[in-house]
Amino acid sequence: MSKKIEKKGDRGQPPSISKEVYKDTLQELQVELVKLQRHFIECNDKILIILEGRDASGKDGTIKRIVQHLSPRETRVVALGKPSDRDRTSWYFQRYVLHLPAAQELVLFNRSWYNRAGVERVMGFCTEAEHEEFMGSVSSFENMLVGSGVKLLKYYLDISKPEQKRRLKDRKTDPLKQWKVSPVDDQAIKRWKAYSSARNEMLTRSHSATAPWTVVRANDKRQARLNIIKDLLSRLHYTDKDKKLTHPDPKFVFAYDVSNLGNGQLAR
């Protein structure tokens, strides 16, 4: 069956796939996700997936497709709101620890402790000392998680400034997306360069062999969703894996490297 082409991708990406091909591929990958869940339940595995990125980078939509057919009993999505007064006086990681996966669980963080390296840093919601303390301790914290048996995957969804602007405008006009509108949205564009600088520092200082970052070029929502699922399936062991389905396209998903800061692979 020939693959239909609808439009050309942005930032040098190949043309987008058709809606039909997208749906068919997504269904095949969701079958693989069910196989993965059956395996990690049997093996008492603990899986934690972190999705970070600018506002409107596609985190919600990606998570929705990952969990769509998984058992809700063993699957949790964590999207914490503003910290309470008590949270602000506690160890920074404390409120996140409560939501970490137990055996047989898959947990997805829609934003995570990396709020401190992004939104909090740019918007002035934390002090420079608090930011520096976080950056100096986050890798040790993640090393402890991995050492305790948590399988940790970290994804950063990267979009261009024009694409973010288009998506944020769409939020304001689409009645079904009103719940996504935030007072911080307008600052996302105004402080684009500050967010880019914070992103670069976060990726560079918190990327490690134990807990590496994977970058996703997310201007094309369909390709981003499919390739994130392919990537996580390729990196987690489970029985009866269909290996021909689990090869992510490196044009869309790739391991972070400091060279990304200057070679155009990250939006500037």
Report d(CA 26, CA 97) in Å as an integer: 31
- What type of residue sits at position 267? A
Residue 188, pLDDT score = 94
Backbone angles phi, psi at 254, to 5 degrees: -155, 155
Residues 6 or more apart whose Cβ sits within 8 Å of residue 146? 152, 210, 211
* Average pLDDT of span 141-153: 98
Report d(CA 237, CA 201) in Å as an integer: 31
Residue 16, pLDDT score = 82
* 40: exposed, middle or buried (Cβ count in 10 Å: 0-12, 13-18, 19+): buried
Q: Which residues are paired to 264 by β-bridges?
A: none
Of residues 221 and 13, more confidently modeled: 221
pLDDT of 252 > 80? The answer is: yes
Report d(CA 54, CA 56) in Å as an integer: 6
Kindly report the average pLDDT of the chain as a whole number: 94
Residue 213, pLDDT score = 98
Q: How far is CA 129 from CA 132, 148, 214, in A?
A: 5, 29, 27
Residue 14, pLDDT score = 52
Pick among 3.40.50.150, 3.40.50.300, 3.40.50.11780, 3.30.420.40: CATH of 19-160+194-261: 3.40.50.300
pLDDT in tens, 199-216: 999 999 999 999 999 999
Domain ranges of the chain: 19-160+194-261
**Nearest 10 degrees: CA dihedral of 224, 135, 261, 199?**
50
